Structure formats: C-alpha cells, structure tokens
Structure 1
Amino acid sequence: ESSDEESDDEEFQGFHSDEDVAPSSLRSALRSQRGRAPRGRGRKHKTTPIPPPRLADVAPTPPKTPARKRGEEGTERMVQA
C-alpha cells in the first residue's frame, strides 16, 4: 500500500504541475481556439449558405439536360461502337 501511495503521490505531483502548465496550455489553447474559431466558422458559414442556393437553383435545371444528353450520347456511342 505504501508503495502504491507513493506512486500515486508522484503522479499527483506531476499533475499538480498544472500550475506551471496552465498558463502555457491556456495560452496555446486560446491561440489555437482563436485561430480555429474564426477560420472554421468563416469557412463553414461562407461555404454552407452560398453553395446550397446556387446548387439548388443552378444545378437542377442546366445539368439535367446536358447530363442526360451527354449520358444518352455516351451510351449510344458506346453501344454503336
């Protein structure tokens, strides 16, 4: 038991070093969060709202006709060949 307690104390002491790690970890965390938050949100917000309307309005009408024509022509050509 004494050996286990000693090992636990050593482990706890290591974790207690959070006082030294806290400032650096917090600073790095804040820097990473600040850098990731605006970039991630900016990219997500910019990508999400813009593409759906364009894809929804533009994608359905034009690609269907050319896609079908291309698909039919491709199949016919493949069959003829």
Structure 2
Amino acid sequence: EEEDQGMRDVMEEIDHFDGSAIPTQPQQSSGGAWPYTHSEHELASLLHNLDINSHFRMPNVYYNTQGALYTEAMTYRQQF
C-alpha cells in the first residue's frame, strides 16, 4: 500500500503539468541556439526516468554515466 501511495503521489505531481502549468524555459545566452546534441525531449525523458527509478529504488537499472546523453542531461538539469 505504501508503494501505491508513492505512485499516486508521483502521478499527482505529473498531473500538475498541464499545458498552462509548464514553467517557462530560460532563454539561451548564445542567441537562442540549442547548445546540446540531443533534443530537449530526449534529455527530459532520461531525467524523468532517473527520477522515477530513484523514487521507487528500482534495482538493476543502469545508465552509462560517461555517455553524451547522460552528461548533457545532467548539465541541462543544473539550469533549473
């Protein structure tokens, strides 16, 4: 039941992000050019999965922490 409550809490937090509640993105200082090799969707997806895996302490989930996607996602996360 505690795990069910945890899942409900996560889903409730996700539900807060409807179209009108998404925070605005900071403007890039380099003329608005996207500074990453991966899309914002790819970075956000990885960060979302990392947060879910951390929250539920999912075993046997490994990430290549030396890879470009992971490195860029961590840099992207620091902006917020």
TM-score, normalised via structure 1 length: 0.28
Q: Which has the larger radius of gyration?
A: 1
If each structure's helix is expressed as a fraction of its own residues, which one has the higher value?
A: 1
Q: TM-score when scaled to structure 2?
A: 0.29
Structure possessing the higher relative contact order (Cα contacts under 8 Å, 6 or more residues apart)? 2
